[in-house]
Structures are given as structure tokens and as C-alpha cells.
Amino acid sequence: MQSLFSLSKLRVYSGKFFVKWYNYIVAFVWAIILISWGVRMLDYASVSEMLSFGFCMFAPTILVSYILSNKIVLAVIKGGVKWKYIFLFILSMSFLSTLYVCLYRIFIHFVRADFMERIFLTDSLLKEFFMQLSSAIISIMFMCGLRFLYEHIKLSTIHSETQLKLLQIKVNPYFMLSILEHINIIMQKDIDMASQLLIRYSEMLRYQLYEGVRGTVPLETEIQFLKDIVDMEKMRLDRKINIDCEWDIDNNKLKIQPLILITFVENAIKYAQESPQEDKYVNIRIKQEDDLIFLDIENSKAEKQGEKEIGLGMELQNVRDRLNILYNDKYTLSVEEKDSVFKTKLKIIL
């Protein structure tokens, strides 16, 4: 698991680095190509000859590379491969190959007559054209590949962030609906208690509104939020359910995604409420070891939950999707359901 986490972390960081520094990476690649070519040319020509020849050769190449990688690749990504793009690519490669052949021949004729033999050019223009064609295709395809990789990583990131925001929005109605139901029930029995709950719920909604949209929050903050939820549930349920909690946290400064654990706690209490047993219970245990966080929940439940089970299933699927996006292969989740017992085990590498 640790090796998978390291590979996943490396992949994420390398992807972010590539997207952020893409233009510099492309410039660096071109610089390496130019320097390698220039060093080779200095064996056959002076510095001034090499610079003039290199400018005539690489200026059009970089321009064609820019047009193909920034215009055509984007058009292909958005609209698919079309014949006009294929034709434009073939035309561009033919142009560059012809340009290379002409430049080499001009250089040989006006500057260095022995240059053709020293760099192994042939007497056949057609054979030389195809040799330069392969060189042009390799260089341009490499640049187009870099651009395609850049767009792929960027679009994947945007897709993940958008999907995560949609899933985060789904958390809000479930949470707020639960709050409204709780307050409505208490107001019918005890106005003073309902007022106290309303104040505490407002603090939780503030946490959800401001902290819930952050990338990460301190583990201490998230645990305190869960404690407040449990305390209010105990107050609301008036000891109708035995809620037993164990918080074993050594490092409160670790960072965790906000509102990632609340669904499991809320669902456990909802399941326990539906249980026909007299000794309804919810056992919650959260333990932290190094960079691992363990959540173990066991609760009583009804043998048949009825229509409410559909809503609970949607919430669990929602949190699974969030875990897949936020932690990918850095978490394990197991849900065990028996006739009257529901067990949830979650392990996350923070």
C-alpha cells in the first residue's frame, strides 16, 4: 500500500509540475535540440555559419511545431481527427523536409563543398527528402505529444475538480435536511433545547460553509466537528440510542479532507434509529497512527430498512466517489451488513 501511495503521489505531483511548467519544458526541449545540433555543426562550420544556417532551419520548424501543437492538437481534442488535419500535417511535414533539403544544398553549394560527404548526405534528392521527412515527423510528433499530454492532464484535473464540487454540493442537502428535521422535532417538545441546538447547528453550518470548501483542514478541526455532531445527536435523541465514541488521535496537525467522515457517522445514527431493538447502539472509534487514520463504526439496524435505505445508499455512494477522487488508491473501505448489525471500516493514508 505504501509503494502504491508513493507512486500515486509521484504521479500527481509530476502531473501538476508538468502542467505548471509546460511552456518552460517545451523551451528546454528545443534548447537541448538546438544545442545538440549546434555542437555537431561546429565541427563543419564556423559559429556565424552555424547560427545563420540554424536560424533558417529551426525558425520555420518551431513555427510549424507551434501551429500544429497549439492549434491542430486542440482542434483534434475538441472535434476529433478530420481529413483536413491529416492533410495539413502531411503538408507541413513535406514543407519542412523540402526546406531542410534546400538549406543543406544551399549550404553545400555556397559555403562548404565537402559538407555533403561529412554529414552523409546522398546524391539522391528523393532519398534525402525522405530522410529529412523522418527527422521532421519525429521532432514535430514529439512536440505534439507533449501538448496532447498537457491537455490530457489539464482536462483530467478540471474534470476531477468539477466532479468533486458536484459531490460536495450533494453533501450539503443531506446535512441541512438532517439539521432541519432535528430542529423541527425538538421545537415541538422543548423550545429552549431547540434554541440551543439551533445555535450549535449554526456553528456547524458555518464550518461546512467555510471549512468544507477548503482543500484540507487540520485533523483536530474535523474531529471536533464530529464530536459536536455526536454531542447534539445525544442531546436530540435523549439517550434513546447508546452512542459510544473513542477518539485516539496523537497528531492533531495532520491534514484531512473536510466532511469526509461525517457521512459514516450520520448514517450509523440513522440506521440505529430504525432499529427495533431496545438496546440501540452506535460504536464509533477513530484512531490515528503516523499518517494513517482508521474509522471503525458498528451500529444496530433494522433487518429491513425500507425506502430509507435507498437514500442512505446514495449518501454512501456519494462519499465513495469523493474518496476515489480525493484519495484514489490511498484508502480502503469495507462495509459489512448483517441482519441487525452494520459495520464500516475505513483506512486513509493522509
The string of pLDDT tens digits covering residues 145-170 is 888 888 777 777 666 665 555 555 55
Taken in order of first residue, the domains within the chain and their CATH numbers are 2-156 (no CATH), 189-349 (3.30.565.10)
| HSE of 328, CA atoms in CB hemisphere, 13 A | 10
Most confident of the ranges 93-97, 113-117, 331-335 = 331-335
**pTM for the whole structure:** 0.55
Most confident of the ranges 62-71, 152-161, 289-298, 321-330 = 289-298
pLDDT over 90 (residue 269): no
Q: What angle do CA 195, 196, 197 make, to 5 degrees?
A: 90
pLDDT over 90 (residue 342): no
Share of the chain above pLDDT 70, in %: 74
Whole-angstrom Cα distance, residue 22 to residue 15? 10
DSSP codes joined into one string, 177-226: HHHHHHHHHHHTT-HHHHHHHHHHHHHHHHIIIIITTSS-EEHHHHHHHH
- Convert the pLDDT of each residue in 193-211 to its tens digit: 777 777 777 777 777 767 6
- Determine contact, residues 323/331, Cβ cutoff 8 Å: yes
Whole-angstrom Cα distance, residue 221 to residue 218? 5
Place 262 in a pLDDT band, splitting at 50, 70 and 90: confident
- Determine contact, residues 101/125, Cβ cutoff 8 Å: yes
Whole-angstrom Cα distance, residue 212 to residue 209? 6
pLDDT over 60 (residue 10): no
Whole-angstrom Cα distance, residue 308 to residue 179? 17
pLDDT over 60 (residue 278): yes
